[in-house]
Chains A and B, each alone.
Chain A
Amino acid sequence: MNTIESGNVAAAMAVKLARAEVIAAYPITPQTPLTEKLSEMIDRGELDAEYVAVESEHSALAVCIGAASAGVRPFTATSANGLLYMSEQVHWAAGARLPLVMCVVNRGVGAPWTVWNDHQDAISQRDAGWIQLFVKDHQEIMDTTLKAFRLAEEVSIPVMVCYDGYYLSHTYMPFDAPEQERVDRFLPPFHYAHTLDPSHPENLNSVTMPDTRTDVHGETAPSYMDIRHNLHREMVQAIDRLEAIDAAFRELFGRGGHPLMEPWRCDDAEFVIVAMGTLANQFRDVVERLREQDGIRAGVLAIHLYRPFPNDRVQAALAGVRGVLVYEKALSYGNQGPLYGDVRSALYDCEPRPAVENFIVGLGGAGIRTGELYRTARQACLEIGRQETPDDAPHWVGLGV
């Protein structure tokens, strides 16, 4: 069904199609309309689910942790400080291998207060053990959320679907909402390997020792580090699984094909701009201009899967280019952009190694003017490889003073 709705409503529609059964949420801008919509759907009888109106984000994820551990598909969503407030639970859910899906409607983090978009909230949780997907339009919110449920439940690792606050959450775009019957074929009923069950009692997530211990059957049980190593290993395996799920999705719905990253005009590109979220879309205009006005063969690579980071695919996508320009809306303070660090690391073994430049844009919703992106990208393309010593400090775009 083709429709025109806001990004938040697109997410709510996806959650409904996924038949989430427990919704726990706490309001925060710009996530609020998403969870309001879900409560409305439940109120109207359109979505058969429990809505738990919690008193905090920490509790929102706690409810989801409880519900998933007890065998039911939950959903929550948040933004910015809400995500940080639930951070302890974010880590907990990953360690417990809970197949959760959460939308993060990206917003800058206080202080000072800002309600506007950047990616610092989600990026601050990148090492928590969640799969992180970034999307760039309403159709991707819909499709990625559906795929996220299947991915989370197949690999038993929680998944964050990240989309830009306001740029996507509050704007209206046309998109297709698939039919329920086909979604049901795509997404099997919820499954968690260690469901709490009085007929098969287990004590979940108790203190786990630094060394292995013998269990009640006389077998060796893993240590904490074994369990954490398994999370890492299976998170890396989730990259292939996401591709398989995307292929299945494509077969059923005719959309997809770029689950990890999406190159645009990269085939002959000498320079590739790497970005996440709506910023990657904005760069399509920049690329066209660079090609038409300056004859610079540029392309843009939108990273969809940020964690686990698909290092070899990123390397393959960028090998052979002269320069890579990483534009991002987050920062590892005192160092550089996190995505820049990841991309640069992925390219370390390339021969020849492309030059990589870092640009910080749009923190706290700072205006991102296409003209300014064009000017900075053009200059970087012209100067790349000409500096005496490459400078890895980030360039700031859009500062006012």
Chain B
Amino acid sequence: MTRDLFEIMTSNAEAGPGDAGRTGSWRVERPVIDLARCTPAKRGKAACHLCWLYCPDGVISKDLEPEILLEYCKGCGICAEECPTQAIRMVAEAEFVEE
């Protein structure tokens, strides 16, 4: 007996980024990392990574020189707040607008 006639339509979602679109557009302030103050960048070896740990959206890389995925970063500022060396500053998005 075939099931061909029956499509059995359900709500079955598959994994992918950007369910809410490019959430970087939510951002009012942008995190900017000063690698000169960033512990893993300074030491050249895995260390700290607290910005990566606490980032709600998982948009900071766990690299010696952390990179921020601005396409999706919502700009909460938790990384800047939790960074033990104050290596991350929140800068108004307006400053990045190119005329």
Contact = CB atoms under 8 A, between A and B. Distances in A.
Interface stretch (A120-128, A225-233, A265-273): A225-233
Interface stretch (A197-205, A294-302, A362-370): A197-205
Nearest to B7: A230
A132 interface: no
A257 B20 CA distance: 53
B16 A204 contact: no
A203 B13 contact: yes
A215 B10 contact: no
Contact of A208 (B1, B8, B11, B15): B11
Given A154-B1, A154-B3, A244-B1, A204 B12 contact: yes
A206 B19 CA distance: 12
Interface string A221-265: 010101100110010010001001100100000000000000000
A203 B3 CA distance: 23
Contact of A234 (B7, B13, B15): B7
Contacts of A227: 9-11
B8 A201 contact: no
Secondary structure at chain B's binding surface: helix, strand, loop or mixed? loop
A193 B10 CA distance: 9
A156 B6 CA distance: 8
Contact of B16 (A206, A216, A226): A216
B7 to A, nearest CB: 6
Nearest to A215: B14
B97 interface: no
Nearest to A155: B6
A210 to B, nearest CB: 13
A97 interface: yes
Contact of A97 (B1, B9, B16): B9
Contact of B11 (A154, A204, A244): A204
A204 B10 contact: yes
B5 interface: yes
Nearest to A248: B1
Interface string A165-183: 0000000000000000000
Interface in B3-57: 3, 5-16
Nearest to A224: B11
Interface residues of B, number: 14
Interface in A182-197: 193-194
A96 interface: yes
B13 A206 contact: yes
Contacts of B8: 97, 156, 193-194, 230, 234
Contacts of B1: 154, 244-245, 248
Contacts of B14: 202-203, 215-217
A180 to B, nearest CB: 20
A203 B8 CA distance: 16
B9 A222 contact: yes
A296 to B, nearest CB: 43
Contacts of B10: 96-97, 193-194, 204-205, 227
A336 B6 CA distance: 34
A154 B13 contact: no
B13 A202 contact: yes
Nearest to B15: A201
Given A97-B10, A227-B10, A237 B15 contact: no
A226 B9 CA distance: 8
Nearest to A99: B8
Contacts of A156: 3, 6, 8
Interface string A86-130: 000000000011000000000000000000000000000000000
A277 B5 CA distance: 31
B20 to A, nearest CB: 12
B10 to A, nearest CB: 5
Contact of A202 (B3, B9, B12, B16): B12
A201 B7 CA distance: 20
A359 B7 CA distance: 40
A208 B9 CA distance: 12
Interface of B: 1, 3, 5-16
Given A97-B10, A204-B12, A216-B16, 11 more contacts: A154-B1, A156-B3, A193-B3, A193-B10, A194-B8, A204-B11, A206-B13, A208-B11, A222-B9, A224-B11, A244-B1
12 contacts: A97-B8, A97-B9, A193-B3, A194-B12, A203-B13, A203-B15, A204-B13, A206-B11, A227-B11, A230-B7, A231-B9, A245-B1
Q: Which 6 A-B pairs have the closest CB atoms?
A: A216-B16, A230-B9, A203-B13, A156-B8, A202-B12, A208-B11
